[in-house]
A and B are shown apart, each in its own frame.
Chain A
Amino acid sequence: MNRLRALLAWIARGRTAVIGLPYLWLLAFFMLPFLIVLKISVSEVDGVVFKEVLSLKDGVLALSIKLSNYVFITEDDLYFKTYLSSIKYAAVTTVLCLAIGYPFAYFMARAKASLQPALLMLVMLPFWTSFLLRVYAWKGLLTEHGWVSDLLIALRVDHLLLAAGVIPALGKFMNSPFSLVLGMVYTYLPFMILPLYGNLAKMDLRLLEAASDLGATPWVAFWKVTVPLSKAGIIAGSMLVFIPCIGEFVIPELLGGPQTLMIGRVLWDEFFSNNDWPMASTVAVVMVLLILVPLAIFNRYQAQAQEQRK
């Protein structure tokens, strides 16, 4: 009985520390910074000092909010276009990752059981080598005389890409929508494959036998059984690709060109080149609003997946 009481007391004490410490850390370093960004995006700038949004003057509480940055962002054509094109590139990347990653994860999950750990390891290994260096490597592969550049020219793929309008000229692949999307697909493909594999490997294969017994052809069974069952994996993977792609900075900077507008780059330039902190904050707030919906979807499915594990 004594022991039990000591345990309960320890848990009560331990519980506070276990929850409290990371909670406080996240509030201070994740939540608070956001609130500050929100504040700066609506603050008047007085020289180099941001005016307080709330001020107490002569006993009157005054709230001064400057929305001109937001008005500017919605009226200015460039910002609007940039947001649209970020969404477009992120969406194209997500679709391509799904198209390549789904069959990949499917074949992985149906490979010999003894092979699967090695196959999984091989997908994760590139994670461990620098992302920056792997993106840089594509620069070498795609510039003139690079391996991939030569291969694509030999296969006459450049005619196709030029017709699609994603490269500026025949034989020129760098600094184009093509190189940007290629870099993003390359970087984020494992983020699509891993949740899909996790999902497909757990599937009960007897369901397919049942479908086949009931007269479904393998093709029909795939679309009516396998795909619906892997919905959670598809959504998790798509969000893991789509959300970070929207704000991607390094890949557009290294592989994209002047015509490939991405919002992460605009934020960077507002901050580092123009030193316009309120504008950079406004861009950030609008970007958060943009990813809030996919983020909520992601969290919901993440929570569901964890409930299923229980």
Chain B
Amino acid sequence: MSGRTFFGAGFARGFSKAWLTAGYVFLYLPIVALVIFSFNDSPIPNVWAGFTLKWYAALPGDREMIGGLWLSLQIAFFTACGSVVLGTLAAFALVKYRRFTGRTLFGGMVSAPLVMPEVIIGLSLLLMLVSVQRVLGFPERGMLTIWMGHLLLGMAYATVVVQARLQDLNPQLEEAAMDLGARPWQVFTLVTLPMIAQALMSAWLLTFTLSLDDVVLSAFLSGPGATTMPLVIFSRARLGLNPSVNAVAALIVLVVSVGVVLASLAIARAERKRAQDMAAAARGG
């Protein structure tokens, strides 16, 4: 180690540990503070004055928030499903077909929503939908239009995730299946799909949380009566500190961390099982 670091090994190790620790504290401090102050019994939301559960008790009666949550969950579910389908298709197109007309444009359009400022995507989608509505009389602004916007963003993320996995795949496995007489559809469902299942799962979860969190696209594309949870939170947060927001935040943190831990355990177990199967197959068992 000492040959590769700048100073003495001990100092370098201490410095690297300190830097990493400080970085993680920076990343996690706001999340920890959110959860702690959701239990705060004080009129000033960021000064601790004792433990209470009253903000949680008030949540079920908060019609606006509950309605927003339900709408957000629906949109997030359909966004995740649609994104995984479109993203997988796009990833296949990019990885399996090296040459087709307009591939550069296609690649650019797939990855552009990842970095494009959301205000631009939101504005342009809305103006298009308004033009379409003038001609066809539909779609009304609401759940459907929000879903379309989220799908555009979600597809870009899903493509990146699935593409990374597809690139690491060994094409010989698919070729071997074909040589053994599998039909192309069987190759996809029996060989390719199980191998990318983990990536599809991560893409689904990622786009679900992305949609559940989006403010800007939803604000442009929502209509009367379609207020998602982030829009409710945003309108309250704009006015100042609000303990109800902290309580919702703490619940989201809880659900997400449990979900992520469970998902990664499931994925790890599936990986182990696959490794065992592969080893057994290699032994001829």
Contact = CB atoms under 8 A, between A and B. Distances in A.
Given A128-B256, A143-B241, A281-B123, A133 B107 contact: no
A145 B47 contact: yes
Interface residues of B, number: 93
Interface stretch (B54-62, B86-94, B192-200, B272-280): B86-94
B89 A22 contact: yes
A299 B111 contact: yes
B53 interface: no
A132 B109 contact: no
Interface stretch (B63-71, B136-144, B212-220): B212-220
B119 A267 contact: yes
Nearest to B114: A240
B4 A107 contact: no
Interface string B87-113: 101101100110010100011111111
Nearest to A26: B109
B238 interface: yes
Nearest to A253: B238
B119 A268 contact: yes
A148 B47 CA distance: 12
Given A15-B97, A22-B89, A281-B123, A100 B23 contact: yes
Given A100-B23, A136-B249, A14 B184 contact: yes
Instruction: State the main secondary structure of chain A at its contact with B.
Output: helix
Contact of A141 (B46, B167, B184, B237): B46
A139 interface: yes
A280 B123 contact: yes
Given A19-B93, A30-B112, A126-B28, A137 B3 contact: no
B249 A250 contact: no
Contacts of B118: 244, 247, 249
Interface residues of A, number: 99
Contacts of A239: 115
B21 to A, nearest CB: 10
Interface string B216-259: 10011000000000100110011011000110110011001101
Contacts of A130: 209, 212-213, 230, 249, 252
A138 B19 contact: no
A174 to B, nearest CB: 10
B117 interface: yes
A68 interface: no
Interface of A: 3, 6-7, 10-11, 14-15, 17-19, 21-23, 25-27, 29-34, 36-37, 40, 100, 103-104, 107-108, 110-111, 119, 121-123, 125-134, 136-141, 143, 145-148, 186, 189-190, 205, 208-209, 212, 218-219, 221-222, 239-240, 243-244, 246-250, 253-254, 264, 267-268, 271-272, 277, 280-281, 284, 287-288, 291, 295, 298-299, 302-303, 306, 309-310
